[in-house]
Amino acid sequence: DQVKRLSTLVAAHMSMGRDAACGDLYVTDDVKPEEIRKTWEKMAAETLRLDVIPPAFEQLRRKRNRRKPVPYELIPGSLARMLCADWWYRKLWKMRCEWREEQLRAVCLVSKKASPYVSYEAVMHKREQRRKSLEFFRSHELVNEDGDTLDMEDVVNASSSNPAHRRNEMMACVKGLELIAEMRGDCAVFYTITCPSRFHSTLNNGRPNPTWTNATVRQSSDYLVGMFAAFRKAMHKAGLRWYGVRVAEPHHDGTVHWHLLCFMRKKDRRAITALLRKFAIREDREELGNNTGPRFKSELINPRKGTPTSYIAKYISKNIDGRGLAGEISKETGKSLRDNAEYVNAWASLHRVQQFRFFGIPGRQAYRELRLLAGQAARQQGDKKAGAPVLDNPRLDAILAAADAGCFATYIMKQGGVLVPRKYHLIRTAYEINEEPTAYGDHGIRIYGIWSPIAEGKICTHAVKWKMVRKAVDVQEAAADQGACAPWTRGNNCPLAENLNQQGKDKSADGDTRTDITHMDDKELHDYLHSMNKKERRELAARLRLVKPKRRRDYKQRITDHQRQQLVYELKSRGFDGSEKEVDLLLRGGSIPSGAGLRIFYRNQRLQEDDKWRDLY
């Protein structure tokens, strides 16, 4: 409520500032774009005073050597956002969460001795946010112009938002880079880069770091980005090239550090390693002495010990969902890597840290669009021969076939290979301006499909327009409950139906004041249990201890062979083995952990993913 009130006051202040600026500048009716830009500059200055970056700031701010003309068309949308209370609420709430987290870091509540990577309050907030998102997805669906509907939860689980799909795609990409490196004769090197001591708030023993300079997590990430940009510029100037993947991870106190899996020519390995080491340790060099290991480490990957993919697999998994790491214990925190995945995701979401970054290869968005196009073409071809060409150009069709097969190595080589500038890629992602304006009056950009410089026109992969709507409620099911509706306030002056005994008298008159909970649904039971006082809870606990639960050991859901095949296929698509043991466990009412605190159940003839802490909310 305080943040909402503050956002309303800030929006009103910005509106008053705009009126004052317009009165000073707009003397005549003939207003030029540059005068409107001066009004925007005054409002942008007020926004920067609140430590908030104005919308379209980089495009509209004054630059000494501007290569392109000023995009005046971005000014109306930017002004509308700075005058909107909802926009300010999102910015101020994000700032509030970051400041609160930094205060907890300052008092050593974010460390291996308290809560690793991120505070416990931030993890709870992320759980609640995920729970609300799941409820939102389950209550909405997508509808197109023809009336076809798609369950929104199924759409989200089928996209790259699914941790299993995200992990599988990155592992396939790393495997493709490994195959290309073997073909080119390149070597693989694993680097670890850490920030100087002044960015770390807490020592390994959980005590405050005396050399900490109040640097935030975001500043540590910006330091690594700036260092890497300077190194990349020097490397290109020296004529050196590499390609690979970068993983951003938190230390136990939340400070960012990087792991890089890089492929390069064997003759360039020593030069690249020496240059990267130079930039990694050049700041605060005196604190390292002769040992630069705490700041920079490099390891040449020996194929006899393991492949590059096996080196990076653990770092990819433990930063997504912890798949396959249930038995691994973190050396830094002493906790399971699978349990730490939830904390890492909350850390990356709170501080807006990009966890993974591929470089030196074609974009992966075009790869996704090609796979989408291949699936659409397969449904349209129907009974045609499998493997029939989809695109007229054989070079482009070969790229599509490689993407459809999931072979990143072939896809990259058909696109032009590694270390090739983007302007030489054969297939790129096509974008278009959104027809419907946003709430601020401007038109955003969305993905249209693919295009190629060697072929005319664009190919649309998003021809069907979907609209998100709330699911319809079954009126018959809603009318089945004849009891009173939930009150708007905490007190309810309209009691529920009277609880009568067999003689038609109130049970309370007979001295039995216990409420019958056998006929309550889940919501009524939940409300009743939360309304009990301590004495009533103790009495209920004593009654429950006297009742032995009846367990049905032979309980097992009955499904057909076709449903079993669908269940096995869906388990494999989510990254599981789909074995008989997993299927029987689900059919007997059990669950399988899927990482990040989520578990998979089999209910109503379909897989459902739920939070194992759901009952605590």
Question: How do 428-433 and 445-451 pair as beta strands?
Answer: antiparallel
Cβ atoms within 10 Å of 43's Cβ, excluding its own:
19
- Among residues 311, 343, 411, 602, the one annotated as catalytic is 311
DSSP helix/strand/coil, 187:
strand
Q: How far apart are CA 133 and CA 607, in angstroms?
A: 18
Q: Which two tokens stand for residue 111?
A: 């460390």
Q: Of these residues, 191, 223, 315, 448, which one is catalytic? A: 315
Longest dimension (CA), the chain: 96
Q: What is the 3-state secondary structure (H, E, C) of 42-96?
A: HHHHHHHHCCCCCCCHHHHCCCCCCCCCCCHHHHHHHHHHHCCHHHHHHHHHHHH
Distance CA 339, CA 343 (A): 8
- Taking the C-alpha atoms of residue 606 and residue 227, their distance in angstroms, rounded to an integer, is 49
Query: Quick check: 361 and 425 in contact, CB under 8 A?
Result: no
E-only strand ranges, 131-213:
140-143, 149-151, 187-194
Q: How far apart are CA 248 and CA 354, in angstroms?
A: 7
The token pair at 345 is 């995701």
**Distances in whole angstroms, Cα of residue 138 to Cα of each of 133, 157, 453, 608:** 9, 12, 42, 11
| SS3 state of residue 406 | coil
| Separation CA 96–CA 50 (nearest Å) | 12
Please tell me the distance from the alpha carbon of residue 155 to that of residue 466, in angstroms, as a whole number.
12
Q: Where are the alpha helices (DSSP H) in 406-452?
A: 408-415
Determine whether 367 is an active site residue.
no
Contacts of 273 (CB under 8 A, 6+ apart): 189, 191, 298
Cα separation, 242 vs 240, in Å, equals 7
Rounded CA Rg of the chain: 29
Distance CA 117, CA 201 (A): 12
How many whole angstroms separate alpha carbon 501 and alpha carbon 503? 5
Distance CA 414, CA 399 (A): 6
Closest by CA position to 50, among listed 100, 22, 9: 9
Residue 141's SS3 state is strand
CA-to-CA dists, residue 269 to 169, 176, 260, 278, 299, angstroms: 28, 21, 14, 14, 11
- Please answer whether residues 202 and 105 qualify as being in contact, where contact means their C-beta atoms are separated by less than 8 angstroms: yes
**What residues have CB less than 8 Å from 590, skipping those under 6 apart?**
none
**Beta carbons of 427 and 366 less than 8 angstroms apart:** yes
8 A C-beta contact, residue 439 and residue 426 = no
Nearest to 269 by CA among 177, 157, 191, 198: 191
- Which two three-digit tokens encode residue 28? 């005549």
Which amino acids are annotated catalytic?
Answer: 311, 315
